[in-house]
Amino acid sequence: MRGQRTERLVRLAAKFMLCPSKLISLTDLASKFNVSKTVISDDVEVINSAMGAEGFGQMQVDRGRSGGARFVPICTPEYRQTLLSEIAEKLTDPERNLPGGLIYYSDLIFNPETALSLGYCMASLFTDAEPDVVMTSEVKGIPIAMFAAYALGVPLAVCRFRNRPSDGAAVGVHYPTASGDVKTMYIGTRQMRRGCRVLIVDDFMRGGSTASGMLLMAKQFDAEVAGIGVFIAYDEPKEKSVPNYHSLLTLKHNAEGQNRLVVTPGKE
């Protein structure tokens, strides 16, 4: 019996974590494992305690008539601080400095393990926003946005800077940059539905022109913006093109030409 329960706990935890934020019927699970619903509920409590101890998520149970549970990636402040501090330390290596006060981070965000953790951190900031879709821009915004969408249990819509025939019919918007240029971004009409709630995720923000372009794109679909999340935000200029956003890390550039990354405080 002990061995049977251990195996059931592992299989249940795997099932919940493979589809974050998706409600799974406890009745169906009880039937699948040939146990009572009460036993499954007890198992969910054990899984919830284990995930809470790890600090990267929790189980939420719907006590309604059908009954169900879901795994929600909500990172604790301790988990978030530890993860982002480790990433910030790696990124402050002087060899990562690039012209213009930028830093090289592609190797980290295109590492699935790191991108998954960052996606969970990003998603945990907006679980209460209940978005219907996550929007980002190509190319470096995709990894974190993809895992944030995965954690929230919603699809990902990608804005591109060149219209591709494979995307089908597309909507294009023109937006100004900080240098005074005007750029264009496109998104396939099948990636978004009108009136949806959209979470905008980007990898880097200096003046916020790319994020403002995505705000214009959301407006084309009469979408409600649930929030704006950024991996790294430059502290200058102070006034961005977007009204409100939340970043995981803030990049500061001192007079000696050195970059310094600090973990941005999470939402209370």
pLDDT tens column, 204-229: 998 899 999 999 999 999 999 999 99
| Residue 58, C-beta contacts closer than 8 angstroms, at least 6 positions apart | 48, 51, 52, 71, 72, 74
pTM of the model: 0.90
Domain that holds residue 121: 77-263
Mean pLDDT of all residues in 42-47 = 95
- Does 81 map to a domain? yes
Contact 234, 206 (CB under 8 A): yes
* pLDDT above 90 (res 4): no
Q: Cis bond leading into 139, ω under 30°?
A: yes
Same domain? 83 vs 67: no
Query: Which CATH number goes with the domain that contains 57?
Result: 1.10.10.10
**pLDDT for the residue 3:** 59
Out of 72, 95, 115, a domain closes at 72
Q: Tell me how many domains the chain contains.
A: 2
Whether residue 239 sits in one domain with residue 133: yes
Look up residue 260 and give its two tokens: 């310094």
* Dmax (CA) of the chain: 69
CA atoms within 13 A on the CB side of 159: 30
For the stretch 93-128, pLDDT in tens is 888 888 877 889 999 999 999 999 999 999 999 988
Classified as helix, coil or strand, 243 is: coil
Give domain status of residue 229, yes or no: yes
**Do 117 and 137 belong to one domain?**
yes
Q: What pLDDT shows up at residue 257?
A: 58
Q: Average pLDDT in the 133-150 region?
A: 96
Last residue of a domain, one of 44, 72, 100: 72
Q: What is the CATH number of the domain that holds 250?
A: 3.40.50.2020
Over residues 240-259, the mean pLDDT reads 81
The label of the residue with tokens 């959209």 reads 198
pLDDT over 60 (residue 37): yes
What's the pLDDT score for residue 11?
95
One domain for residues 33 and 107:
no
Q: Is pLDDT of 258 > 90?
A: no
**pLDDT-based confidence at residue 86 (cuts at 50, 70, 90):** very high
Asked if residue 128 is part of any domain, the answer here is yes
Question: Mean pLDDT throughout 191-210?
Answer: 93
Residue 116 lies in a domain: yes
**Same domain, yes or no, for 97 and 61?**
no
> Does 65 have pLDDT greater than 70?
no
Of the listed ranges 139-143, 174-178, 251-255, the least confidently predicted one is: 251-255
Are 175 and 128 in the same domain? yes
| Pair 88, 65 in one domain | no
33 and 98 in a single domain? The answer is no
Tokens at 87, concatenated: 């990433």
216 assigned to some structural domain: yes
Over 60: is that where the pLDDT of 19 sits? yes
Angle in degrees, 0-180, between the axes of helices 37-54 and 26-33, rounded to the nearest 10:
110
H-state helical runs in the chain:
2-18, 26-33, 37-54, 77-91, 106-109, 112-124, 142-152, 209-220
- The SS3 of residue 145 is helix
* Residue among 80, 153, 70 nearest 117 (CA): 80
Structure confidence at residue 109 (pLDDT):
96
Q: What is the mean pLDDT of residues 162-172?
A: 88
> What percent of the chain lies above the pLDDT cut of 70?
94
- The answer on 94 and 26 residing in a single domain is no
Taking Cα atoms as reference points, which of 129, 138, 106 lies closest to residue 228? 129
- Give the confidence band of 268 by pLDDT, cuts at 50, 70, 90: very low
| Residue spans of alpha helices (H) in 93-191 | 106-109, 112-124, 142-152
Q: How crowded is the C-beta side of 216, counted as CA atoms within 13 Å?
A: 19
In a domain, 240, yes or no: yes
- pLDDT of 135 over the 90 cut: yes
The answer to whether residue 268 is domain-embedded is no
Task: Looking at the structure, tell me whether residues 18 and 115 fall in a common domain.
Answer: no
Confidence band for 253, pLDDT divided at 50, 70 and 90: confident
- The confidence score (pLDDT) of residue 100 equals 77
Domain-terminating residue out of 72, 100, 118:
72
DSSP assignment, residue 232?
E
